[in-house]
Structure 1
Amino acid sequence: MRKYLAVAAVLTCAFTAPAAAENLEFLLVNSSSSALTGFYVSAASSEHWEENLLEGQILASNYEVTVTIADGLTTCIYDIRGVFQDGDVVEDMALDLCELGEYTFTD
């Protein structure tokens, strides 16, 4: 299984944001040999992926970016989906983003 990540900007996931909820941040690192063309984060309780946080951009190999989840939810448990330029898709389920700190895609 291949894992990847990287870009040089802040990705913000702002689905809906009540003022009482805290934002979650983690570093996304692409240590793979392929560019990341799609990056999705959804609450583990959701049946659907949220929109592509890269929005038509790519996260090149050997780059990293800070991801901010500002969806207003009180959960820490999220699913992550990465889509790569070479056609690979990686999904990692039920991650505790409150404790994560960093997520790295590798070959």
Structure 2
Amino acid sequence: MFKAFARRAVLAAAISAVAFGTMGFQSNDGQDRRVRIINATGVTMTHFYASNSGQDDWQEDILGQDVLPSGQSVRINIDDGTGACLYDFKARFADGDELIRYRINVCQITEYRYTAG
């Protein structure tokens, strides 16, 4: 039991370090753009992208070499330094599914849940 808990804690810390390192910019408008991404799909999330809705392409995979197992969450600083609040999210899963959501206002939400179905 303790080993499983410790492994989850290490995974969460590793993903958080990647997430905060990847999007480590800070806008000067006082808005909090940190969002908890929750994977409640029943399938492991292998990639996660959050790109300013004004961009034409996806930024780098925030999870990097880590994954987000179903039932787990990670808090990500979405701030890219531009002051934008609207971001597009793309998640890829181990079963090949890809979910894209457009124009998520990260200045107004504190969590985003991916669910099955």
Q: TM (normalized to structure 2)?
A: 0.77
**RCO comparison, higher one (Cα < 8 Å, 6+):** 1
Corresponding pairs, count: 100
User: Are positions 1:54 and 2:63 aligned together?
Assistant: yes
Higher helix share: 2
Counterpart code for 1:8:
A
**Superposition CA RMSD, Å:** 1.8
**Aligned pair partner of 2:28 in 1, 17, 20:** 20
C-alpha separation in 2, matches of 1:89 and 1:21: 32
C-alpha separation in 2, matches of 1:18 and 1:91: 25
Q: TM (normalized to structure 1)?
A: 0.84
Structure 2: where are the runs of 5+ without partners? 1-10
C-alpha separation in 2, matches of 1:19 and 1:26: 15
Structure 1: where are the runs of 5+ without partners? 1-6
Structure 1 segments of 4+ aligned residues over 2 angstroms from their partners: 12-15, 17-23
- Select the structure of larger CA radius of gyration: 2
**Aligned pair partner of 2:46 in 30, 37, 42:** 37
Q: Percent identity?
A: 27
